[in-house]
Structure 1
Amino acid sequence: MKKVHGHTDGLKANQKKRLESLYRRRLPQGYAVNAELAHELAAISHDIRRQVAVLVSRAGKVEFVIAGTPDQIYIPELKGYTPLPGRLLGLRYIHTHLKEGEGLTRDDHTDLALLRFDLMAAVTLTPDGSVHRVHTAHVTTGDSGEPTRELPPMAPGHLRDDLDAIVREVEEELSRKERVLAAGDAEERAILVSVTTRPRKEAMGSLRELEELARSCNIDIMETVLQIRKKSDPKHLLGSGKLNEITIAAMQKGASILIFDQELSPAQIRSITDQVEIKVIDRTQMILDIFARRAQTREGKLQVELAQLKYMLPRLITLNTAMSRLTGGIGGRGPGETKLELNRRRVRDRITTLSKQIESVKKQRGQQRARRNRKGVPVVSIVGYTNAGKSTLLNTLTQSRVLAEDRLFATLDPSSRRLRFPKDIEVIITDTVGFIRDLPKELMVSFRATLEELESADLLLHIIDASNPQCEKQIESVENILADLKLDTIPVLKIFNKMDQTDEERREGLSREHGGLFISALNRATLTPLLHRIEDQIETLITDNLPDEDPDPEE
């Protein structure tokens, strides 16, 4: 005999036997509950003064029997039952309420939407333990805006026998919607979530940037959720009630992934994935995934893999569903499925190996820089926020064809080109990986070998997207990263790009606040003042570095 789940402490032996005997019941086709089962549940529930539930398969077989408390029932893990895309769970949930007029509660509707039961039925009791009414509800396809729909209550002698048809209709509509969504080009469908204590304007700017990151990963954004709190929930980041709402919205809209704008701790990932049936990642994993997509050189791939493994290591303490849902796909590129399932010792070994290989790369770069220094060729490095136009400027200045696209982190690997000025001065111009707010520390460490290229720069060109409403924050982020890298002692020339997309008033305001030049990286005619400024700066640098002439010995 299968066991009775839930709150069984304090039950008498004969009461437990009555609960166990429910496993022998069978439901006829089409009924959410028949009169015999409804009366038996009511009698047992009245006897033990607790709620009682059975979960019945589509074949009419009772698969789970649960004893609750007088007010609620805790649903156990439903092994062997997982709702597939476009399908319901395959179980109908039938339980009792001790209060005569209670009906289906908000918790019942939440459980129905979250677990996607075929049907939810609540049998209410009269004071003497008889069946009063049977209340039923089913999942909707979301067209009405509500995740569930409640049907009119039924008397025990007039129970509907057409509920299987309702289940079929719901599944057909869910399946149709799933096919439409799957036919799109997007790899995933996401709901973006931001839970923050920052001001709303700043939070919205960060959320818009998360949208751009998602689009860079070919993700369709189904909805964005912003919750501003005085203090973040240490367990779920946001309240469990709000998390339930988001989960239900994800199911209604066909979302396959939740993306949080804030970095989730290992404990938060475990808590959220225990409650949510779809993949959950955070901003850091999104950026790591983009880097994994864009890395082309062996060096870049090594650095991304190292960053991903360092991020995952503390999250491999317990290999639960949180990790199994991250194998491959968005948030799981680079190391891949096998590495996600490695134990911590093997991950540490891999990190050690990658660190040694990157150290070798670092030495090679140091030798290249030393050769350049011996030749005395000045180096001008282009830095700036991602998608500010760095690669476009390099292409226009040097007539190159470095990949330049209107998306975040279009290029990762550094590119170097030579540029000759009219005064017969030659420089090397390098384009580096773009910066971003809250750049993951794992990437900062892993890409240090690449970013050390900036240490040999004689001049930094800080490219700023003047058309971006958040450009002030972007300037601050870039300057903070340069300070963290101890590069704030190198001369910096600020260049405001996309002048053709800004009005004169905004340009005057930015000029008063920051100085700098205004250009359009796509229009070579606007670059003349910039070329003159670079030439003057390099000429001054060369003059300053000339050795002093020996004094005349006769004087």
Structure 2
Amino acid sequence: MNDELKGEVTRGARALVVYPQMRGPRGERNDLDPEARLEEARGLALAIGLEVVEAVAIVIREARPGTLFGEGQIQNISTACTLNEAELIIVDGSLSAIQQRNLEEKLKRKVIDRTGLILEIFGERAATAEGRLQVELAHLDYQAGRLVRSWTHLERQRGGFGFLGGPGETQIEADRRMIRDRMAKIRRELEQVRRTRGLHRDRREKAPWPVVALVGYTNAGKSTLFNRLTGASVMAENLLFATLDPTMRAIRMPGLEKAILSDTVGFISDLPTELIAAFRATLEEVTAADVILHVRDIANPDTEAQKRQVLDVLADLGVIQPPLDDRKARQAPALDWSDDEPDDEPEPQVPIIEVWNKWDLLDPDQAHELREVSMHREGEVIVPVSALTGEGCDALLDIASRNLTRDSRIYSFVLPVADGQRFAFLHARGEVVSEEDAGEGEQGPQMRLEVRLSEREFGRFKAL
């Protein structure tokens, strides 16, 4: 490989984006629209400071095992690189190690695939020790199968563009051993993180405050909505994967003294499996949520395809069930779909509220049409909001609160005034509807309270 491929690629590097549009024997296509996919790839490149000089979709009817693309297509890519002076080629799809190496040899330029690019973004954005561990584990998992052409010295602490540059190792067996040892160490550290997170969750259960998790496609506006609802100042920019590390804040909701709102990493189509595995500890916050707010960029023309991608990831995590038709075909390790399980008896699911964000970007006709659509979506809870202006946020909190308290009922209690512990519990965990003097009792003055409590809270009250 020539010296050009051995140099570092830094911010501002000129990149050509190629989207391999796979076609089936009948030309069927179930992925995002090619233009939307190219626009998303531009956003990914921008998120890591690359300059996209051109983005093209190339139809592939039969993938070549050695190069993915045909010889004529490779020549067209090379010509486009020469004309645009591109020094990096981003293939917006998955490449095997052999395909990547062969393309680099033929094109005389660095080549990275979608997984490598997303891992780069995660590596640059992770801010906490946990986030950095998760990213490094995903990097090493990805790297382990690519020692035919290592990306960087494994002894060196990663500092940004580990996939985009670096001289590479030659001692493959030593590399593999180093990778295995490091991955084992990271997994042990992440297991400790999981245990700590579990303890925190147990504490919240005892508190107990319900957890509301924000999920959604990357750049849907989750962090902006999080800031609007909590008054926090989490990084919220028009960038893909602006948020990586989970953030949790307490918020007040109608009928509840407190709830915990959790902002999570954004999902994306073809999210690398290495990342899903590495970030499972973080995403466990979603699986433990009492209500999920699925934030959608309703102004995005590809919003329906983005919704499907998010629901696919949630199904893989075991948060929701996949559609009945997909249960046998889908590989979902977090779920156990046994053959004798009745198909018409779905397991209880976490309530999901669809938050149609960026409503302020719609013109009046679009807004009217979407309101009509939302009114005819049976079985779905939809709330139009603008996280930027605050429109609809009060209604969202009200609906979320009703979902959190939907199994609640009003109980009547007569308590001694001196029973401060139980008074505090009812005021903190329930909605006190009325409170009045109940006269004298065996333990002195008493109060009668009418309190709305969930079954879980009523059970905890009885245990006091």
TM-score with structure 1 setting the length = 0.62
1:305 matched residue in structure 2: 136
The partner residue of 1:498 within 346, 358, 370 is 358
By how many angstroms is 1:84 displaced?
10
Distance 1:354 1:82, change over 3 A: closer
- Following the alignment from structure 1 to structure 2, what is the Cα–Cα distance between the partners of residues 217 and 241? 30
TM-superposed CA distance for 1:539, in Å, is 2.3
Partner of 2:344: none
Determine what percentage of the aligned residue pairs are the same residue: 37
Distance 1:244 1:285, change over 3 A: same
Q: 1:498 to 1:392 in 2, by over 3 A?
A: same
**Cα distance between partner residues in 2 of 1:299 and 1:369:** 17
Cα offsets for 1:121-154 (capped at 9, x unmatched) = xxxxxxxxxxxxxxxxxxxxxxxxxxxxxxxxxx
Q: Secondary structure at the match of 2:33?
A: helix
Secondary structure of residue in 2 paired with 1:255: coil
Q: Does 1:291 align with 2:122?
A: yes
1:458 pairs with one of 278, 290, 315: 290
- Displacement after TM superposition at 1:547 (Å): 4.1
Q: Does 1:527 align with 2:393?
A: yes
Q: For residues 337 and 445 of structure 1, do their structure 2 counterparts lie closer, same or farther at Cα, with a shift above 3 Å needed?
A: farther
The match for 1:478 among 291, 297, 310 is 310
Please state if 1:396 is matched with 2:228. yes
> 1:273 matched to which residue of 2?
104
CA distance in 2, matches of 1:374, 1:83: 59
Query: Is this contact kept in 2: 1:285–1:331, CA < 8 A?
Result: no
1:210-289 superposed matches below 5 A: 210-289=41-120
Task: Tell me by how many angstroms 1:515 deviates.
Answer: 4.8
Which amino acid letter does the alignment assign opposite residue 405 of structure 2? Answer: E
TM-superposed CA distance for 1:549, in Å, is 12
**Which has the higher mean CA deviation after the structures are superposed, 302-311 or 196-205?**
196-205
CA deviations 1:313-358 (Å, max 9, x no partner) are 1110x247x779xx98975269976789861111111111111111
1:504-542 superposed Cα distances (whole Å, 9 cap, x missing partner): 244236413455010001122421211110121222255
Structure 1 gap segments, 5+ residues each: 1-76, 86-181, 551-555
TM alignment of 1:138-153, pairs within 5 A: none
Seen in structure 2, the aligned counterparts of structure 1 residues 196 and 333 have a Cα distance that, compared at 3 Å, is closer
Q: Does 1:418 align with 2:284?
A: no
Using the alignment, how far apart are the partners of 1:82 and 1:353 within structure 2?
35
Q: Which one of 355, 370, 375 corresponds to residue 507 of structure 1? A: 370
CA contact 1:286–1:331 (8 Å) conserved in 2: no
- Aligned residue for 1:405, secondary structure, equals coil
Partner of 1:447: 279
Summarize the alignment of residues 100-179 of structure 1 with structure 2, pairs less than 5 Å apart: none
Mapped to 1, the partners of 2:149 and 2:460 lie a distance apart of: 69
Which residues of structure 2 form unaligned runs of 5+?
24-28, 321-348, 408-452
1:334 and 1:348 mapped to 2: Cα distance? 22
Aligned residues: 370
Q: Which residue of 2 aligns with 1:517?
A: 383
Give the Cα–Cα distance (whole angstroms) in 2 for the partners of residues 297 and 465 of structure 1.
27
Shift of 1:207: 1.8
Asked whether the equivalents of residues 152 and 163 of structure 2 are also in contact (C-alpha less than 8 Å), the reply is: no
Alpha-carbon distance in structure 2 between the residues aligned to 1:216 and 1:481: 22
Partner of 2:36: 205
Which entry has the higher C-alpha Rg, 1 or 2? 1
Deviations 1:346-372 (A, max 9, x none): 111111111111111111111110111
Closer/same/farther in 2, CA of residues 333 and 418 from structure 1, 3 Å limit: farther
Aligned to 1:6: none
Q: Judging changes above 3 Å, is the alpha-carbon distance between structure 1 residues 315 and 515 closer, same or farther for their aligned structure 2 residues? A: same
Residue of structure 1 equivalent to 2:219: 387
Whether the aligned pair in 1 keeps the contact of 2:116 and 2:163 (CA below 8 Å) is no
Q: Distance in 2 between matches of 1:537 and 1:83?
A: 58
CA contact (8 A) 1:323 1:340 kept: no
Counterparts of residues 422-437 of structure 1 (less than 5 Å) = 422-437=254-269
Aligned to 2:402: 536
Per the TM alignment, residue 252 of structure 1 is displaced from its structure 2 partner at its CA by: 2.8
Answering whether residue 370 of structure 2 is matched by residue 545 of structure 1, we say no
Match status 1:344 vs 2:344: no
| 1:305–1:329 distance in 2 versus 1, CA, 3 Å | closer
Deviation at 1:298, TM superposition (A): 0.4
State the TM-score, normalized to the length of structure 2. Answer: 0.73
Q: Which residue of 1 aligns with 2:14?
A: 189
Q: Does 1:373 align with 2:205?
A: yes
Change (3 A) 1:528 1:223: same
Instruction: Report the alpha carbon displacement of residue 435 of structure 1 after superposing the two structures with TM.
Output: 0.7
Contact 1:461-1:494 at 8 Å conserved across structures: yes
Query: Equivalents in 2 of 1:391, 1:413: separation in Å?
Result: 11
Q: Would you say the 8 A contact 1:378–1:428 is kept in 2?
A: yes
Q: Following superposition of structure 1 onto structure 2, how do residues 56-95 of structure 1 map, counting pairs within 5 Å?
A: none
Alpha-carbon separation, structure 1, partners of 2:317 and 2:70: 37
Deviation at 1:286, TM superposition (A): 0.7
SS at match of 1:252: helix
Partner SS, residue 66 of structure 2: coil
Q: Is the 8 A contact 1:390 1:463 kept in 2?
A: yes
- Pick closer, same or farther for the CA change 1:83–1:304 going to 2, 3 Å: closer
Instruction: Please give the alpha-carbon distance, in whole angstroms, between the structure 2 residues aligned to 1:226 and 1:266.
Output: 22
SS across alignment from 1:351: helix
SS at match of 1:267: helix
Q: Distance in 2 between matches of 1:346 and 1:84?
A: 24
Q: Structure 1 CA distance, aligned partners of 2:457 and 2:4?
A: 74
Higher mean C-alpha displacement, 216-225 vs 419-428: 419-428
Q: Aligned with 1:388: secondary structure?
A: coil
Name the CA shift for 1:213/1:330 in 2 (closer, same or farther; >3 Å): farther
Letter in 1 for 2:351: P
- The letter of the residue matching 1:220 is E
Contact 2:66 2:99 in 1 (8 A): yes
Deviation at 1:196, TM superposition (A): 2.0
Contact 1:387-1:407 within 8 A present in 2 as well? yes
Q: Distance in 1 between matches of 2:169 and 2:314?
A: 33
Q: Which letter does structure 2 place at the counterpart of 1:359?
A: E
Deviation at 1:461, TM superposition (A): 0.5
Contact 1:378 1:457 (8 Å CA) reproduced: yes
CA distances 1:460-493 after superposition (whole Å, capped 9, x unpaired): 0110000011110111111111110001121111
